[in-house]
Structure 1
């Protein structure tokens, strides 16, 4: 289980490195391009999307013992996040295809530049609506609630997610409404606790796993005795 959560980190961060040529070069569609490098980034994000859905699927049988409705909400949030990630992948690979068409002399360079900017804008919005909003809601709030109620993880650790999730949503709402740029210091700082929660959660599950709990066995907790 922990390996799937860790996979969301292992695959996401390198993807940005491989995507760098297309994300930072406004004239990529008119240049010689580094299409193989971008394709590797796309592959990593496909694996990221698979890992994201898997995290919800593997934890659902346990999480539903706490609240089936919230557990289903978590599955839905992770699924939507992964689908939006894949939309971003499609937009960048479409840009690569457009560059190859222009290079082969089959397209107008000026029009291709405008289309490329549109495809990059689509990619930017998928990042905002997917990993920003869905991760804040799903991993931060919903999964945080499930872990808090179940006591499967130390509560100080879970608290990072319960605080980080709403802050990530605030950061995303601010970007959506134009209050600040997505690369400015404030949204980055607001998103940092959510990123820390996801990393700490991944490492904890890989190294330690869940704590003993009646939730794991499906048996009701033993009643406490006074005195």
Structure 2
């Protein structure tokens, strides 16, 4: 009971960290993502570095949620639990690729500042390419892969009742919506950072915050603390006087 409670607290904190770090990183990246001339201008390198730090913390917290939850959810379905951990690792890896692409733009800007007579058009082209790479990682990591991970975890939570089913249903809805929205962005129906994209992302944001608050406040649902009781009873029946107590 105590070990599970500790797991729920750690997981809740990590989910909240992912939300804060994701919002902080995207906000701090603003100058490099939205200023086409960033690489040839004065820049805001310190702000971008801070954004990269936020996103690195995000990647660590993403992996942490998968690792922290694995001992609990594997009791329900070990294959799905392992898939969730691998999915979170993939999500974190994609985020790190985005970090590196943004920091590479800063490197180009610093090189341009040290050599004013350099080829500005080529640097602008390279910077645009690196920003485009970040944009694609932002679509596939915190959208497609996040949506798939959310669906796996919410399904596990729904079937095991580790959290109240309305919370799990919110996750199922959020995961489906973020995947659908990412597909719409992929085919150019609207921009990812737009009103439609933000509205589609709200349910998955609400799911993670609600799950985090639930785990911090009350932990996992108590009846789920000892999963698969009937299976263990059937596999190892106790006996009295040489007779099995397992139901026939």
Residue 59 (structure 1) shift: 0.4
Counterpart of 2:3 in structure 1 is none
Does the 8 Å contact 1:150/1:213 carry over to 2?
no
Which blocks of at least 5 consecutive residues in structure 2 are unaligned? 1-10, 234-248
Counterpart of 1:50 in structure 2 is 60
Task: Give, in whole Å, the separation in 2 of the partners of 1:132 and 1:210.
Answer: 26
SS at match of 2:222: coil
Counterpart of 1:135 in structure 2 is 146
Counterpart of 1:157 in structure 2 is 167
SS at match of 1:83: helix
From 36, 41, 48, the equivalent of 2:46 is 36
Q: Give deviations 1:188-217, integer Å, cap 9, x for gaps.
A: 322221111111111221222212134x33
Which blocks of at least 5 consecutive residues in structure 1 are unaligned? none
TM-score by length of 2: 0.85
Counterpart of 1:19 in structure 2 is 29
Counterpart of 1:109 in structure 2 is 120
Task: Give, in whole Å, the separation in 2 of the partners of 1:76 and 1:182.
Answer: 25
Q: Give deviations 1:102-154, integer Å, cap 9, x for gaps.
A: 00007421100000000000000001000001111102x10001101111111
Counterpart of 1:123 in structure 2 is 134
User: Would you say how many aligned residue pairs link Structure 1 and Structure 2?
Assistant: 221
TM-score by length of 1: 0.92
Worse overlay, 9-18 or 123-132: 9-18
The CA RMSD over aligned residues, in Å, is 1.7
From 70, 85, 109, the equivalent of 1:99 is 109
SS at match of 1:178: coil
Structure 1 residue ranges (4+ consecutive) displaced by more than 3 angstroms after TM superposition: none
Counterpart of 1:75 in structure 2 is 85
Residue 66 (structure 1) shift: 0.7
Residue 185 (structure 1) shift: 3.1
Task: Give, in whole Å, the separation in 2 of the partners of 1:221 and 1:208.
Answer: 25
